[in-house]
Amino acid sequence: MIMAAHQPQYLPWLGYFHKMASCDVYVYLDDVQYKKREFQNRNKIRVKDGSQWLTVPVVTKNCYYQEIREVAIDPTSDWGKDHWTAVSLAYSKALFFKSHAGELETFYRKKWGGLAEMSEALIEFHRRLLEIDTPIVRSSEFHVRSKKTERLVALCLAVGADTYLSGQGARDYLDESLFARAGLKVIYQEFKHPEYPQAYPGFEPYMAALDLLLNCGPESRNILLPKN
């Protein structure tokens, strides 16, 4: 059994869903420390002149060591309205925007309280359209207190996995010897970013996966996960 793990993210990129589809169980790392200026509360969408960041404002004052599951969205911000306006303007000409506009507008008009709850709901929207049915669990369910590689080893053992699927970026810091000592194997994600038609001339990679869904609709899964 292959396990992969990652923090829940807002509007994840395609590699996030590729990893999710490439394992047997996916773990949301919801009890690790929240980090500012990463992808837990922001990502990029494609616009006419390149890309645009969409950032969900969160409460961080006096919350220096909060876990991701504890992060609250700033209740004073009307970020949902702003993000929906940005998405609508960016994708009004995308072929499948109208197919999903109603559901997305409902999502963005809802008053969300927690960052993780909101991100997971949006991830579920993507999973359904990409037909990814990999079971998901949360790391907080297992009360693992170890850090870094030790945490991942413990989570593999907790879910009954014998293999850990890692992103390429972890090669520099993942301690593979700890996996071997526990009788576990480590493999690395092999992901080549696909090119696909976008609403504007040229191709901008590393956008939110929503870009693929709104431009390519039912073909999105085959583009993300081409058959050999």
Please state, for a pLDDT cut of 70, what percent of the chain lies above it. Answer: 100
Which pLDDT belongs to residue 210?
Answer: 98
Residue 228 has pLDDT above 70, yes or no: no
At 145, the pLDDT band (50, 70, 90 cuts) reads: confident
- The pLDDT tens digits for 77-90 are 999 999 999 999 99
Report residue 65 as tokens. Answer: 């060591």
CATH number, domain 2-224: 3.40.50
Alpha-carbon radius of gyration of the chain: 18
- The pLDDT tens digits for 174-214 are 999 999 999 999 999 999 999 999 999 999 999 999 999 99
Q: How many whole angstroms separate alpha carbon 126 and alpha carbon 140?
A: 23
Q: How many whole angstroms separate alpha carbon 119 and alpha carbon 138?
A: 13
Residue 65 has pLDDT above 90, yes or no: no
Q: How many whole angstroms separate alpha carbon 203 and alpha carbon 195?
A: 7
Residues 163-168, mean pLDDT to the nearest whole number: 96
CB 63 within 8 A of CB 115: no
Residue-wise DSSP of 6-21: E---SS-BHHHHHHHH
At 55, the pLDDT band (50, 70, 90 cuts) reads: very high
Residue 35 has pLDDT above 90, yes or no: no
Burial of 150 (0-12, 13-18, 19+ CB in 10 A): middle
Q: Could you tell me the pTM of the whole model?
A: 0.95
Residue 150 has pLDDT above 80, yes or no: yes
Q: How many whole angstroms separate alpha carbon 106 and alpha carbon 182?
A: 46
